[in-house]
Amino acid sequence: MSKIKMNIPLVEIDGDEMTRIIWKMIKDILIEPYVELKSEYYDLGLENRDKTDDQVTIDSAMAIKKYGVGVKCATITPNAQRVEEYKLKKMWKSPNGTIRALLDGTVFRAPIIAQSIKPFVKTWEKPIVIARHAYGDVYKDVEFHATSAGKAELVFTSESGEVSRQTIHDFDGPGIILGMHNTDDSIKSFARACFNYALDQKIDLWFSTKDTISKIYDHRFKDIFAEIFENEYKDKFEANNIEYFYTLIDDVVARIVRSEGGMLWACKNYDGDVMSDMVASAFGSLAMMTSVLVSPDGKFEYEAAHGTVTRHYYKHLKGEETSTNSMATIFAWTGALKKRGELDGINELVEFAEKLEKASIDTIEKGIMTKDLAQLSEVEEKKIVNTEDFLKEIRKNFDN
């Protein structure tokens, strides 16, 4: 059988630790035997980020802007301990943060559902997809530690020189201050990304903020969503029999837990960060969560939602057996290949990606899985396999 050919390269962004090991195995065992992979490779392993003064991260984001589709391996976000461990020149920023800031956009996180894996929340029957606004708020804030008494003010100088000034707080002792922002443009593109995703998947859209407390900041998000919905999407939603629904974040949290799932839940940046880990864990495992960043101009970056699985990597280095679940990383690859196929009109590539996803889920449903899923699976006869054997089992399924 001849391999599937590609026209335009996929931006391939390699990473760290156990996920870097899995990355190569997935390519060797599941992709390159079938696809003549055309990729432009960026090594975001921490050593190379340090060597290039993090230029490689910026270059990888620019390549996604150029080619339109990227797939990214998990990467270490350095902290003090990592600076020591890798003898880094400095504490480089989070690569995901850098890439998101350059591409703007919204991150969609959806659980991978296998029938035999039961969510902790019994009523959840359909996936809950989280849309996380990937720009601004606390991720691009300015913070200040006031070490003495004093006055904190919020000052805005307009283009034409008018000054608006408000007191934040009169401190009578030390304290802390935070200034954050967002832009109408970014919120508008977040709103459109969510409405488009809901239409594409034909699922309801729920949006939540805390506008009763944040009467200007969060309220602006609510108003922009309402205006765009009214003017651009209302008819399309009605035609597709789906709903847009706004409510307070506390109300959504309570409703989500009692729901059967099946909706897109749009969250501000911080809410999305926290809630996506909660939803992923409640569905069973972080290793069963996919993630895609969609930019306002239609560029896509696919990745797994989990980190570099450090604990397993140290075992691997000691020559011990590991049982790391590669599902989310496989789905990052299939998501990216499928999108490349759709954009370039290569049907075989789309079909290959879909068949590989099915073979992966079938493997778990047949009872063959890594250790993390074993406690969650309701299959009677389970076979727990190591990292590499799981991929080989998927390949057997794929070939059958």
Given ligand NAP, Mg ion, none, residue 26, with its beta carbon under 5 to 8 Å by kind, binds: none
- Can residue 59 be called a binding residue for Mg ion (CB under 5 A)? no
Provide φ and ψ at 111, rounded to 5°: -70, 150
Residue 33, Ramachandran bin (φ over 0: left; ψ between -120 and 50: alpha; else beta): alpha
Given ligand NAP, Mg ion, none, residue 311, with its beta carbon under 5 to 8 Å by kind, binds: ligand NAP
Based on CB atoms, which residue is closest to ligand NAP, 215 or 311? 311
142-146/175-179 β-pairing: antiparallel
The site string for Mg ion over 226-265 (x = CB under 5 A, - otherwise) reads ----------------------------------------
Instruction: Choose the binding region for Mg ion from 1-9, 58-66, 152-160, 268-276 (rule: CB under 5 A).
Output: 268-276
15, 44 Cβ separation under 8 angstroms: yes
Provide the Cα torsion 308, 311, 317, 321; round to 10°: -110
Per CB under 6 A, residues contacting ligand NAP are 74-77, 96, 286-287, 303, 306-311, 324-325, 372
Based on CB atoms, which residue is closest to ligand NAP, 189 or 291? 291
Based on CB atoms, which residue is closest to ligand NAP, 82 or 219? 82
Which residues have C-beta within 8 Å of that of residue 351, sequence separation ≥ 6? none
Q: How far is the CB of 94 from ligand NAP (least distance, A)?
A: 7
Q: In the set 137, 273, 354, 389, which binds Mg ion (CB under 5 A)?
A: 273
Instruction: Choose the binding region for Mg ion from 163-171, 271-279, 354-362, 365-373 (rule: CB under 5 A).
Output: 271-279
Instruction: Choose the binding region for Mg ion from 18-26, 162-170, 194-202, 273-281 (rule: CB under 5 A).
Output: 273-281
Q: How far is the CB of 279 from Mg ion (least distance, A)?
A: 12
Based on CB atoms, which residue is closest to ligand NAP, 74 or 336? 74
With b for 16 or more beta-carbon neighbours within 10 A and e for fewer, the 57-78 pattern comes to bbebbebbeebbbbbbbbbbbb
Q: How far is the CB of 96 from ligand NAP (least distance, A)?
A: 5
3-state DSSP: the chain helix, strand, coil percent, rounded to 5? 45, 20, 30
Q: How far is the CB of 308 from ligand NAP (least distance, A)?
A: 4
130, 208 Cβ separation under 8 angstroms: no
Q: Which pair of tokens denotes residue 18?
A: 């156990």
Based on CB atoms, which residue is closest to Mg ion, 26 or 332? 332
- Report the alpha-carbon distance of residue 306 to residue 329 in Å, rounded: 9
35-36/142-146 β-pairing: unpaired
Q: How far is the CB of 314 from ligand NAP (least distance, A)?
A: 10
Based on CB atoms, which residue is closest to ligand NAP, 23 or 221? 23
- Count CB atoms within 10 A of the CB of residue 126: 13
Q: Which residues pair with 208 in a beta bridge?
A: 247
182, 289 Cβ separation under 8 angstroms: no
Q: How far is the CB of 284 from ligand NAP (least distance, A)?
A: 11
Q: How far is the CB of 92 from Mg ion (least distance, A)?
A: 18
- Count CB atoms within 10 A of the CB of residue 327: 27
- Report the alpha-carbon distance of residue 316 to residue 318 in Å, rounded: 5
Quote the longest CA-to-CA distance of the chain.
76
Given Mg ion, ligand NAP, none, residue 310, with its beta carbon under 5 to 8 Å by kind, binds: ligand NAP
Q: Which residue is nearest to ligand NAP (CB)?
A: 307
Number of residues that bind Mg ion (CB under 5 A): 1
* Interface contacts to Mg ion, rule CB under 5 A: 273
